[in-house]
A and B are shown apart, each in its own frame.
Chain A
Amino acid sequence: MKIAVLTKAIPSYESSIRIDSSSTWIDESVVNFVVNESDSYALEEALQIKEKLDNGSEVVVVTMGSQDNTSKVLKDGLAKGADRAIFIQNEDSNTDPLSIAKLFSQNLKDENFDLVFSGLQSDDLGSGQTGVLIGELLGMSTATLGIETDIQDGKIKIKRELESGWFQWVTLPFPASVSIQSGINEPRYPSLKGIMGAKRKESKVIDGQLSDDPKQNFINLFVPKTEKATEKIEGDVDGIVAKLMDILKNKLRVIS
């Protein structure tokens, strides 16, 4: 079994984020990049599958981005137990899921992965599309929101999380691309031996150029203005109640 885990470097929650001079992206120089949360669960799931199958399966961590920010994310994956890493170097701050997915699938096609795991969505942009799009582009079966996996008879069963506490089991033939929900397992810490051993593992760097123009771009990024406005409802009791009901129903939509 050959499993790819897509990981993304995202600004950590503690980082104080500033918008850069172009007003279309953030100033990355002051941000601490960490592994996207749900990607850690995806990696753990892949490592557990590898350990359970115990048949020489391979886990490969894959990421895309600029050298400074993202290559360390791969070291984290290798330290936790991934066998090798693929780094698609691309210095553009491109945010269009389709062109990103094309770049991944072009470069991963020849690897013939049986499984592609990705986190449910990135914690910075949250589009949640890349894993599914890669699956489609590589002709794989796909599922999203995986909260349990089970490999049997050459197929993978995925328990999917639906709305309102409902679940769905789907069975996918290989190759398959599955996005993994946070909380599905308990991601391991990289051990000291893992960290020290990571530098001896293969880490392949691919110069990745986008094949076509992104279909979406950021035009302008800005910090929302904080406004405080107090509305005072005056009048007789019936009038106040009627007005309050109207606000709760139609403006705030907290009651129907």
Chain B
Amino acid sequence: MKYIGPDFCNITSLLTDEELLIQKTANQFVQQEFNPIVNEYYEKGSFPLELLPKMGELGFFGATLPKEFGGSEISSTAYGLIMHELEKGDSGLRSLCSVQGGLVMYPIYKYGTDEQKKKWLPQLSAGTAIGCFGLTESNHGSDPSGMLTRAKRDGDDWIINGSKMWITNGSVADVAVVWARDEEGIVRGFLIEKGTKGFTSSDIHGKMSLRASITSELFMKDVRVPDSSRLPGIKGLKGPLSCLTQARYSIAWGAIGAAVDCYEVALNYSKERKQFSKPIAAFQLTQQKLAHMIQEITKAQLLAIQLGNLKDNNQLDFSHISLGKKNNVAIARDCAKLAREILGANGIMDDYSIMRHMMNLETVYTYEGTNEIHTLIIGQKITGESAFE
């Protein structure tokens, strides 16, 4: 059994049998169930939600959580390899899984009450319920501390007002984790159920990227929820930020999947495509591109494996994840561009996955902390000086 993907520096030797088997399961799922339909959904701008129960059955949602909460207690690296395979299919597929696991199940597991856990985690892990995460607002992306959504105490209830933007699965979610400031200005998390009075959503249309993913706006107009809907285990921005750390870890792995898919398509193409009576793989300019891609992919793989090790040993700092997210998405973006060049005109066609990855990666480059913000997080870590606070 070997790592599925280009293995220039024998990263297989760094992975356990369980991790490799888990990667294989995710790989087969994507190849057999998702890849045949991805173009259709990308074109119409939606996601095949009927795949969720199957993904739940296989254990993809919240897979690192304890068994009693629907997880499978797999290693962080195994979880990363699932993300790698899902994003090899499409960034939209990986986004759905990292939102469900990292941004919805994680805060409920970590900060929720026993009742909240009992109610939501089994359904979310089985894929019979969908979750979304409401932090970003239309005027507050990189600076969530400026959020305008408010929660006001009213007897045993809270009244929530505000709106959220760029919310994956917002309109189809059964439960939304919504972050709002209370009257003292403290950020608190609430679980708002679909159908709650005053809670509405609308889908964002006209996306040229991440089309096989539902993206919505959420509106809260005098939404009344009981105090039992509040996540009591956390207050302050570190709540949502800790969730983002989970989801960004998924991206650091997922981006490698997109890069690997572009690289493999381009490598195979270059060996078959002949110009001037020889395969274009024989030309120095093509080799330079392929060599650059494998070099960057190999570094990204090693970085991701180390992030997994640090995470499992509780030594992972959010700045490490910033480095992983920033680097691995950036190299994936480069790989998509170089792969498209190698395929020439064919590279723009949907017969190949490259152009879809390239467009998706523009979203991935920006969401969950822009490349610039992650640069400043790393800058702050190494200099001790904050450039953004």
Interface residues of A (CB under 8 A from B): 32-34, 72, 75-76, 79, 189-193, 195-196, 198-199
Cβ contacts under 8 Å, A33 to chain B: 1
Q: Closest residue to A15 on the B side, CB-wise?
A: B2
B73 close to chain A: CB less than 8 A? yes
Inter-subunit contact B21/A76 (CB<8 Å): yes
43-85 of chain B: CB within 8 A of chain A: 57-60, 63, 67, 72-74, 78
14 A–B contacts from the bound complex (CB under 8 Å): A33-B1, A34-B1, A76-B21, A79-B21, A189-B25, A190-B21, A190-B24, A190-B25, A191-B72, A192-B25, A192-B78, A193-B59, A195-B74, A196-B72
**Residue picked from A32, A76, A189, A192, most chain B C-beta under 10 Å:** A192
User: How far does the alpha carbon of A195 sit from the alpha carbon of B18 in the complex, in Å?
Assistant: 6
CB-CB under 8 A for A192 and B1, given A76-B21, A79-B21: no
User: B21 contacts which of A32, A75, A193 (Cβ < 8 Å)?
Assistant: A75
User: How far does the alpha carbon of A192 sit from the alpha carbon of B58 in the complex, in Å?
Assistant: 6
Q: Closest residue to A189 on the B side, CB-wise?
A: B25
Cβ contacts under 8 Å, B24 to chain A: 190
User: How far does the alpha carbon of A190 sit from the alpha carbon of B59 in the complex, in Å?
Assistant: 10
Inter-subunit contact A196/B73 (CB<8 Å): yes
B22 close to chain A: CB less than 8 A? yes
A148 CB to nearest B CB, Å: 23
Inter-subunit contact A192/B72 (CB<8 Å): yes
Q: Closest residue to B25 on the A side, CB-wise?
A: A189
B380 close to chain A: CB less than 8 A? no
Cβ contacts under 8 Å, A190 to chain B: 21, 24-25
**Residue picked from A32, A72, A75, A189, most chain B C-beta under 10 Å:** A189
Q: Closest residue to A69 on the B side, CB-wise?
A: B1
CB-CB under 8 A for A191 and B21, given A32-B1, A196-B72, A196-B74: no
Inter-subunit contact B59/A192 (CB<8 Å): yes
Q: Closest residue to B20 on the A side, CB-wise?
A: A72
B111 close to chain A: CB less than 8 A? no
Inter-subunit contact B18/A196 (CB<8 Å): yes
B29 close to chain A: CB less than 8 A? yes
Inter-subunit contact B17/A75 (CB<8 Å): yes
User: How far does the alpha carbon of A198 sit from the alpha carbon of B17 in the complex, in Å?
Assistant: 11
Cβ contacts under 8 Å, A193 to chain B: 59, 67, 72
CB-CB under 8 A for A192 and B63, given A32-B2, A75-B21: yes
B28 close to chain A: CB less than 8 A? yes
**Residue picked from A33, A195, A199, most chain B C-beta under 10 Å:** A195
Cβ contacts under 8 Å, A196 to chain B: 18, 72-74
Main secondary structure of the interface of B (DSSP, over half): helix
Cβ contacts under 8 Å, B72 to chain A: 191-193, 195-196
Known: A189-B29, A190-B25, A192-B58. 4 other contacts (CB 8 A): A192-B59, A192-B78, A195-B22, A196-B72
User: How far does the alpha carbon of A79 sit from the alpha carbon of B63 in the complex, in Å?
Assistant: 16
Interface residues of B (CB under 8 A from A): 1-2, 17-18, 21-22, 24-25, 28-29, 57-60, 63, 67, 72-74, 78
Q: Closest residue to A72 on the B side, CB-wise?
A: B1
Cβ contacts under 8 Å, A195 to chain B: 18, 21-22, 25, 72, 74
Inter-subunit contact A199/B21 (CB<8 Å): no
Inter-subunit contact B2/A192 (CB<8 Å): no
User: How far does the alpha carbon of A75 sit from the alpha carbon of B24 in the complex, in Å?
Assistant: 12
B257 CB to nearest A CB, Å: 17
Inter-subunit contact A191/B73 (CB<8 Å): no
Inter-subunit contact A199/B18 (CB<8 Å): yes
User: How far does the alpha carbon of A32 sit from the alpha carbon of B12 in the complex, in Å?
Assistant: 11
User: How far does the alpha carbon of A76 sit from the alpha carbon of B2 in the complex, in Å?
Assistant: 13
Q: Closest residue to A199 on the B side, CB-wise?
A: B18
CB-CB under 8 A for A191 and B57, given A72-B17, A196-B74: yes
Inter-subunit contact B74/A191 (CB<8 Å): no
B330 CB to nearest A CB, Å: 29
User: How far does the alpha carbon of A32 sit from the alpha carbon of B63 in the complex, in Å?
Assistant: 27
Cβ contacts under 8 Å, A192 to chain B: 22, 25, 58-60, 63, 72, 74, 78
A40 CB to nearest B CB, Å: 11
User: How far does the alpha carbon of A189 sit from the alpha carbon of B78 in the complex, in Å?
Assistant: 16
CB-CB under 8 A for A191 and B1, given A196-B72, A199-B18: no
A145 CB to nearest B CB, Å: 25
Cβ contacts under 8 Å, B21 to chain A: 72, 75-76, 79, 190, 195
Ranked nearest first, the 9 interchain pairs of A and B with the lowest CB-CB distance are: A192-B59, A192-B72, A32-B2, A189-B25, A72-B1, A195-B21, A191-B58, A193-B72, A191-B59
Cβ contacts under 8 Å, A32 to chain B: 1-2
Q: Closest residue to B60 on the A side, CB-wise?
A: A192
B66 CB to nearest A CB, Å: 12
Q: Closest residue to A192 on the B side, CB-wise?
A: B59
User: How far does the alpha carbon of A199 sit from the alpha carbon of B24 in the complex, in Å?
Assistant: 17
Cβ contacts under 8 Å, A191 to chain B: 25, 57-59, 72
User: How far does the alpha carbon of A90 sit from the alpha carbon of B364 in the complex, in Å?
Assistant: 49
Cβ contacts under 8 Å, A75 to chain B: 17, 21
Q: Closest residue to A190 on the B side, CB-wise?
A: B25
User: How far does the alpha carbon of A33 sit from the alpha carbon of B20 in the complex, in Å?
Assistant: 12
Cβ contacts under 8 Å, B57 to chain A: 191
B128 CB to nearest A CB, Å: 16
User: How far does the alpha carbon of A33 sit from the alpha carbon of B17 in the complex, in Å?
Assistant: 13
User: How far does the alpha carbon of A189 sit from the alpha carbon of B74 in the complex, in Å?
Assistant: 17
User: How far does the alpha carbon of A34 sit from the alpha carbon of B21 in the complex, in Å?
Assistant: 11
Cβ contacts under 8 Å, A76 to chain B: 21
Inter-subunit contact B58/A189 (CB<8 Å): yes
B51 CB to nearest A CB, Å: 13
Cβ contacts under 8 Å, B74 to chain A: 192, 195-196
Cβ contacts under 8 Å, A72 to chain B: 1, 17, 21
B68 CB to nearest A CB, Å: 12
